[in-house]
A and B are shown apart, each in its own frame.
Chain A
Amino acid sequence: MKFTTLLASAAMALGLATSAMAEDKTKVGFVYVGPVGDGGWTYEHDKGRLAVEEHFGDKVETVFVESVPEGPDAERVMTQMALDGADLIFTTSFGYMDPTINVAKKFPNVKFEHATGYKTADNVSVYSARFYEGRAVQGHIAGKMTESNIIGYIGSYPIPEVIRGINSAYLHAKAVNPDVEFKIVWAYTWFDPAKEADAATVLIEQGADVILQHTDSTAPQAAAQEAGNVVTFGQASDMSEYAPFPRVSSIIDNWAPYYIARTQAVMDGSWETVNTWDGIREGMVEIGEISDRVPADVKEEALAMKAAMAAGEYHPFTGPINKQDGSVWLAEGEVADDGTLAGMNFYVEGLEGEIPQ
């Protein structure tokens, strides 16, 4: 196709021009789905970008565009970054998957990194974080700390990522507290702080004294604080403004090490297509400080579990685990494979209710 050639040659010409002008300045682009001020998902990605700038100083130039809708707008923003001479582009939302692949085809010399997707190409890598490892730690603490034995869970949409977190938290809460019950509320929104506040309040009113959230705002934290004796965990960012109580710990997305490593790889010319799914071991998932309101022995157990996962000795989905309908999913000692985990669309045994379809 003529147009593709035109784009490619323009990029090539520009690539030559920039490399002649600024010998070793690597340009890294970031496409964000929300505003950098969302205090959650995009905020953490932007912290990763700033870490890249800090780490490499004058050797890199980073650019970003925020609040880019998924679809043709994303495709245009990526193309524009590539035309402007970006060497590496991080696209940080699942919905950017096909646009990333499309643009990558037109710019074979630009490297692309797509977050949370599953399509790779010669110049497209994918990366994601094993948040469910953090959920396991949360589940453990939650199971130990609940007195009403009711744990509330606020989900965004019923997608594998969220379902995985629910299963992981439930299994580990159940392991330490056989009487535990999960109440799950789907907010059907990625972002609506007021609705998240309502959801948390409802769960608390129905007896939950621990709230886990898979939404990014601090609204549930505030609701728990008001209720008084309800435990929460920070999500996406540390939410330490609610520590030491109600927020007793948190899962933090830490993209910085990965972003720095991949930028380095582009600089060295050692960049290759990878399918990264990193967790606690690699530092992509961090457990925020466990506050003193957690009993010392529980804190110790939680940290031990974290250490075991960091050492690669423990997998949160280790058999025997049955599915909700009682059928066997994992036999004794068997560990879940990444394929099943990636597309997880079932609850484990003991969870009540159905996943909305």
Chain B
Amino acid sequence: MLEKRPQPSKMWSYATPLVAVIATMVFGGVLFALLGKNPVEAIGTIFWEPLFGEFAFYYRPQLLVKGAPLVLIAIGLSLGFRAGIWNIGAEGQYIMGAIFGAAAGLAFYPLEAWFIFPIMVMAGALGGWIWATIPAVLKVRFGTNEILVSLMLVYVAEQMLASVSLGLLKNPEGFGFPGSRNLQQYESAYNAELIAGSGMHWGVVTALIAVIFAYVLLNRHMLGFHIRLTGEAPRAARFAGVNPARLVLFCLGLSGALAGLAGMFEVSGPSGVVSIDFNVGYGFTAIIVAFLGRLHPVGILLAGGLMALTYIGGEIAQSQLGLPAAAIQVFQGMLLFFLLAFDLLTNYRIRAARSEVA
């Protein structure tokens, strides 16, 4: 029988992720064994190889590359989620940020100048902001559901992406193939690694700043207090003078801008090209990351790292052990299930069930 704790258990909030990871290893091991693979080797490959294996010098920076967009988007989303504002269209905002950012950069091609990259950064943030402000304005003005509108806009953004890849932004020297010029080959627009081989590009730096910013905002700032209050007790928030419309515009706008930035840093750096299949689901995965991190900035940082680890470790396991990609997906699903399920122990106590006379 479950009993709600008066306040979340500190001990369990640290212990549950560990318990969940161990449970995933056990069940994942069974799955891998069923597929005819050595479970110890498979799990070792996923968790150990990227961090401490022979080629960790390459994989560790890659963790930053893979994790940064997840963290950056999830931080933005978490602020809204805390206030009960559900932006699940970050994928679309990510795409629009990439399109705006790349378009701003390519508009100057082939000019080389210091101001191009900052303009791209602003354009990227603007693109994401616009795309998230549409559901915000519609919610404030008409009371439409932001979950739905933001989700619908993902599909609109995907079609836009296909359209510009085949038209507006198509590389004129690309022999008619879809996709833009490669921004990696355009120095002023290239979001290169700040230190070669470190994986640190501006997106990673921005993600870390966002974590700190969100932490300060939530703990030290009035606005952060309003966000938390609105989520926990909407009516009380109103009495406390929170303007719900402004909060919606702020939370959606900010999360959109951050998702847009993530898209812009990705397209100008690791990816380089605006193409039909540019987006790889960061916007949706980031929702999971936000919850895994319990909507807490530091938690999100760790959760983003963990997700990145399973992606990279999963790829290694695929190629070294011949595991199908689907098995890795199932494994990730299990990890999420266990993390979510064991979260119970943080907020509730389990007591031996006994029949009570009311």
A and B touch in the complex (CB under 8 A): yes
A29 within 8 A of B: yes
The verdict on A118 contacting B315 (CB below 8 Å), with A2-B196, A35-B326 known, is: no
When chains A and B are docked, how far (Å) is the Cα of A29 from the Cα of B57? 21
The verdict on A3 contacting B196 (CB below 8 Å), with A98-B184, A159-B166, A188-B159 known, is: yes
Q: Are B319 and A345 in contact, with the CB atoms below 8 A?
A: no
A303 within 8 A of B: no
B332 within 8 A of A: no
The verdict on A157 contacting B162 (CB below 8 Å), with A1-B196, A67-B325, A98-B184 known, is: yes
Residues of chain B within 8 A of A157, CB atoms compared = 162, 166, 178, 276
When chains A and B are docked, how far (Å) is the Cα of A63 from the Cα of B59? 19
Residues of chain B within 8 A of A1, CB atoms compared = 196-197
CB distance from A38 to the nearest CB of B (A): 12
Residues of chain A within 8 A of B319, CB atoms compared = 29, 63-65, 77, 80-81, 84
Q: Which residue of A lies closest to B170 (CB)?
A: A357
A257 within 8 A of B: no
When chains A and B are docked, how far (Å) is the Cα of A158 from the Cα of B318? 33
CB distance from B170 to the nearest CB of A (A): 9
When chains A and B are docked, how far (Å) is the Cα of A83 from the Cα of B316? 11
Per-residue B-contact encoding for A66-104, CB less than 8 Å = 1, 0 else: 111111110111011101100000000011001000100
When chains A and B are docked, how far (Å) is the Cα of A127 from the Cα of B277? 21
Interface residues on A, range: 35 or more
Residues of chain B within 8 A of A108, CB atoms compared = none
When chains A and B are docked, how far (Å) is the Cα of A81 from the Cα of B196? 21
Residues of chain B within 8 A of A63, CB atoms compared = 319-320, 322
Q: Are A344 and B277 in contact, with the CB atoms below 8 A?
A: no
Stretch of B88-96, B135-143, B265-273, B296-304 lying at the A interface: B265-273
CB distance from A97 to the nearest CB of B (A): 8
B14 within 8 A of A: no
Residues of chain B within 8 A of A95, CB atoms compared = 179, 273, 275, 277
CB distance from A80 to the nearest CB of B (A): 6
Residues of chain A within 8 A of B182, CB atoms compared = 98
Q: Are A76 and B62 in contact, with the CB atoms below 8 A?
A: yes
Per-residue B-contact encoding for A28-68, CB less than 8 Å = 1, 0 else: 01000001100000000000000000000000000111111
The verdict on A79 contacting B270 (CB below 8 Å), with A118-B175, A157-B276 known, is: no
CB distance from B31 to the nearest CB of A (A): 17
When chains A and B are docked, how far (Å) is the Cα of A356 from the Cα of B178? 12
When chains A and B are docked, how far (Å) is the Cα of A68 from the Cα of B162? 19
B331 within 8 A of A: no
A6 within 8 A of B: yes
Residues of chain A within 8 A of B270, CB atoms compared = 71-72, 75
Q: Are A342 and B167 in contact, with the CB atoms below 8 A?
A: no
B177 within 8 A of A: yes
When chains A and B are docked, how far (Å) is the Cα of A208 from the Cα of B16? 61
CB distance from B99 to the nearest CB of A (A): 15
B278 within 8 A of A: yes
Closest 3 CB pairs of A and B: A3-B197, A72-B270, A343-B175
